[in-house]
Structure formats: C-alpha cells, structure tokens
Amino acid sequence: MTDRNDRPELGRRTALASILAAGAAVGSSRIARAAEETPMSAMTPHHDEPSNSHQEPGNHPGIASQPVVRTQSDYLYRPTVHFSPQTGFMNDPNGLIFDGQTYHLYYQYDPFAPYAGQVHWGHATSTDLYTWQDQPIAIDQTAAGEAYSGCVVLDRNNDSGLFPPKAPPPTQGDTPPAPKTATQAAVEALAPGLTKATSDVPFSPENMDVLGPGTNAPFGHVFDPPTTAELPPAAPSVPPLPSMPGGLVALYTRATPQKQTQYLAWSPDGGKRFIDYEHNPVLDIGLNSFRDPKVFWHQPSGKWVMVVVKARAHRVAFYGSIDLKHWMHLSDFGPAGLFGVDYECPNLIELQVEDEGKTSRWVLFVSVNPGGPQGGSVTQYFVGDFDGERFIPENTVIGLTDFAKDSYAMQVYENMPGKEAVYFAWFGNWQYCEEVPNRSWRGLMTLPRTLSLRRDDMNWLRLVQRPRGLETLRGEQIPFRVERIAAQSGVQVSIPTGQAIELSLTVTVDERRNPQPDGNKGRAGRFLIVFSNGQGESLSIGFDAFSAQLWLDRGDLHGFSQPFFTERFSTPLTANSRRFSLKLVLDACALEIFINDGLSVGTALVFPASPLDTLSLQATNAGATIENLSLYPLRKTMDRPTAV
C-alpha cells in the first residue's frame, strides 16, 4: 500500500467529496441499472443459500450436529508447513495485512462442520508467514447474513472516523499518564457494550456453545490435543498496534439468499475482532451476486479504491471513497477472459517488471468458478494500466496463475514493507473440496508467494511466482549428489515421511541425433522426477525435451478418486530448449511446483494411500546433466496433529 504520509491536496479531496455526494443522489438509479444488466440467473439463489456457483452443505439443517470422527486420513494428509484449520472447513483467504508487527491471515471458515456454509472469518497471526497462532473468530455470521470474502486495510489517519479520539494531552503540572494507543482508547470506550447482547460483536469460539467441550460439540468428543513438543513456543496474542489515530478496518460482503452487500467494520484490539459500522451496508446495488471487495489506497488520485465483482454479470466494478463509508462508482471492467459462471475474489496490484528498472504494470486478478480450462475453479489475470478510475488492459491476452487446478481465490497482502507483493491462495478446487478423504478438517493455504512480472521468450509479460522464506525452514540437507544420469537409467534416495521436503535442481537433456519417436520415451528424450512407495504408487513430474513441455501426473496415487479429480496436467516451457529449472515442495497432501524461477507454477492436491518414501531421478533415451541439486527436509511449523 502506498505511503499515506504524502496526503493529496485538500482541493482534490473536496472535489471527490462532491462527487460522492452526487453519487449518493443517483444511487437508486444505479441499483436499477445493475439489476437490468445482470442475467436473471444471478437473481435466483439456490434454495436457502447465498447465490454463488457452489453449494453450501454446511447450511443444511442438522449438518453441524452430525458426528465427525477423525480417521487416519486426517493425520496422513495434514500438511506441516501449509496453514490448515484445526477443524471445520476453510476456503478463501481474506483480509491479508501486515500491521507493522504481525501478519494477519483471515479466511472463510465454517467452524461447525467440514463443509462449506455458515461462513465466518477465521483468524490466525504470524511473525514469519509460516508459524501461525490461532486466534478467535474475527467476524461472525449474524442475522444479517454470512460473512463472505473481503479485505482489511490500515486506516492510519482514521479516515473512517470510526476510532474514538485519544485522550487530550495533560495540562501543565499534571503527572503525564502513560501514552494511550487508539486501540486502548477504543477498548475502554466500548467496554460497557462488549457483551453477548450486542449483536454487532462477534462471539469468540470459547463463548460459542457449539464449539465448546461437551456432548453437543461436533468435534469436541473426537479430538485430542495435538502434541507440540517439537514446535517453537506459541506466539503471543496479537500485540496492540503502534499509536495512531486509526487502526484496522475490514470491508467484506454480507450474504443472504436475497442480497449481497458490502459491510464496514473496525477493530478495537488490533485485529482480534471487528465491530460492524452501525450504518451498514456501505454499498448496496440491489444484487445477490455482488461480492468480495478488495480495497487499497491509490496515492496518485488521493482516494481509497474498491475492486469488487458483479459475479454473475462477469464484471469487475471499481468504486472510490475518501472515508471508507461512502462509495462512488468509477467504472466497470468486463466481461473479459474465460466464460465461466461466476467472477469472484478480484485483486488489483501494481507489480514491478523484472530487469526493466523501475518499470511497472498493474495486474488485475479475477477468480472464475467453474469454468477453468483444467476444470472447476481457476484464477485468471490481465496486465495493463490503472489511472485511479479505470483498468485498461494492454492487450487481449489473459494469463492463468496455475497450470494445475488447486490454486484459487488468491489475495495479496496489504501494507508490506517496500511494497513487496506477497499472497496466499486457497489450496483446493470447488469440484471436489468437500469430498477429499480427510474428514474432520478440510482446506489449506498455499505457501506464501511473492509476485513480479517478467518478459518470456515471446516478449509477453508473464506473472512470476516464487515461494517466500523457505530457507528459514530447512533442516540438514539430505545427501543426494548427482551430476549425470545416463540414458535408460536413474538414481534414487530415501526421503523422510510425515515431513515436508524441498527439492531444487536444474536439468539439461542431452541432444539426441536421431529424434524419431521411440515408444513412450519421447523423440528427444524425457527426464522424470518420481516420488514412490513400496505399494506401487507414484507421483511424477516429467519433462519432454522434444516439445519443451513439462507434465505432472498424480494418477498413480490411490488415496482418492473422483470424476473431477483430474490426474494429469502440463505446461509449455521455453520453446526449443532442452533445459529447465525446478523447485518443488511436497508436504503431505500439498504439492507446489515452481518452474524456470517461477514463470510456470503448478499447485496440486495429492493423496497417496501410503506415504511416499522414495525419490527417483530418471532419464529415458537421452542422458541428462544435473546442476544445483539440493534436497531439504522442512521443519514443522503448524501446531496440528500430523502423521509423525
């Protein structure tokens, strides 16, 4: 987020205020126009659920009271370095923000059952984006609707006016009291009203009967406390923010079967809980498929900008505000890109172009569900320019963030030092996320990833994604020294089970003088990375030197099968090149592959029936040279019961 210290001139803010006032006068006409431009299907909720392209079994009567028994799969497939919920169902990341001391991860969460529905905002905090401390639920489902996706911003200067003023300075001769932060002042001001009777105050899990211990708790009688002897001490609770007039503000969607509107809430305690603004909603255009606001401060135009989707109309809408409470429509983008059913979870961020000095472009991310080329949910992106009102793509090309199918609803962190672009995505796909074999918990996040842009060999600007901070998790390197693999041969090494591993290498496949088809070995030779076990299961990543393409094959794993659980994926690399680099992380059910320094990325759930304990490198009918090979175990960071 751009530094707010250089405030725009008063005239610009006054002008924008006038525009916003005018916008309020025509609000009713905008609602009517939005209804006219939206297909009728978008106005029809399925059953008694908010309108979206996936069902919410968690809302069905009695689902939360059904006993959920933890099975071996819950341990076998629980990752050790990827964030996952203790129990229940998790999907989209929300409100990603660094407050200057702490990373906050909020997320869509059903705490009552391992199915989508009854959506709250779960919350965890970290100082390194890997070691997470669970926090109480931050935003509750209420009579006003479910708490759908949204964002959190740092309202440093109290533009919203929601934060109580600080105490006046002491008069001369008085003993000065200890400095009081805006957070402390807010807590004191609200203390009389923070009770169960206050509908705007979310209840923390320990105050919700359905989550407490007892025979009626859906999870309480089947879960044992995790063992944490090998983990570092738990991080303390969220510390208060540094002294400032404002604090953390959330903007999110309240969703009912009839309507989806944008809500504003503020936190009196540094992000542990949010209190709804008393005059919500702050944005209502009369649609029931209007959701997922992402807000940022746009310094050049001196205003807050909201990016939000008219989901079924396939439009991304842009709104402006100076106080986070009053919003003026600026423009729409779309329909564009994939057909799909719903647009969801937009993000707009300015990214640096690598090796081009200070050159940058704006990138608009839009998640689509269903409608991905691989099937189900997918995230597309457009490269272009944003002038504070309109996003203009620089061409008609769209990109996909992933060549596999298990990365969705990405959100970029706000307020990162040095404008670093870091994001999480939900590690899953709506086609099968509620049917995967782990039963007591479902859903995980990707590794934290950094973002930039790079020109590829065709001079297209492409998204670059790299895992952030893995080196801090590495244990002692696993001995595995390989420099050459002859044709028709391979090497292998044992790998630890129940522990995440990181593999990096660069491979050049030998040139083959007779590039004729040779059975299943390829015209110009193939190189394979294979994870396997003694039960005949295998997970393979392969490179075909003739077509310069890479594939991922999870079809020989036997722990999960479902019609939409696609077995194989592929991606083109550098044309006419027999060389590639690769970094991968395998962590229980999570596989992430970063190829050619993050230019191509594959994210895939994997479910072996038994742990994979052997890594093999193989060459077919052409030899291969191996460089920069390293293999590391990664220390456990998540306070969760796992396979070991």
Catalytic residues: 92, 344
| Residues 6 or more apart in contact with residue 181 via CB below 8 angstroms | 240, 241, 242, 243, 244
| Residues 6 or more apart in contact with residue 639 via CB below 8 angstroms | 132, 133, 134, 226, 228, 231, 234
C-alpha pair distances (Å), 210 with each of 69, 204, 214: 16, 11, 9
Region of 378 on the Ramachandran plot (φ > 0 left; ψ -120 to 50 alpha; else beta): beta
Are 427 and 77 in contact, with CB atoms under 8 Å apart?
no
Are 562 and 526 in contact, with CB atoms under 8 Å apart?
no
b/e for 284-315, b at 16 or more Cβ within 10 A? Answer: bbbbbbbbbbbbbbbeebbbbbbbbbbbbbbb
Q: What is the CA radius of gyration of the chain?
A: 25
Q: Could you say which DSSP state residue 184 is in?
A: H
Are 401 and 465 in contact, with CB atoms under 8 Å apart?
yes
Are 432 and 332 in contact, with CB atoms under 8 Å apart?
no
Are 315 and 271 in contact, with CB atoms under 8 Å apart?
no
Are 262 and 346 in contact, with CB atoms under 8 Å apart?
no
CA–CA separation, 23 and 31 (whole Å): 12
Q: How many CB atoms lie within 10 A of CB 192?
A: 8
Tell me the two tokens of residue 39. 């297909």
CA–CA separation, 489 and 623 (whole Å): 8
Region of 270 on the Ramachandran plot (φ > 0 left; ψ -120 to 50 alpha; else beta): left
Q: Could you say which DSSP state residue 187 is in?
A: H
Peptide bond into 335 cis (omega under 30): yes
Are 472 and 594 in contact, with CB atoms under 8 Å apart?
no
Tell me the two tokens of residue 182. 């805006």
Q: Residue 133, SS3? A: strand
Q: Residue 107, SS3? A: strand
Residue of 82, 596, 53, 118 lying closest to 377 (CA atoms): 53
Q: Are strands 579-587 and 449-455 parallel, antiparallel or unpaired?
A: unpaired
CA–CA separation, 371 and 341 (whole Å): 6
Q: Are strands 600-605 and 391-393 parallel, antiparallel or unpaired?
A: unpaired
Tell me the two tokens of residue 533. 């076990």
CA–CA separation, 365 and 380 (whole Å): 6
Q: Residue 179, SS3? A: coil
Tell me the two tokens of residue 411. 């959100």
Q: Residue 419, SS3? A: helix
CA–CA separation, 457 and 316 (whole Å): 31
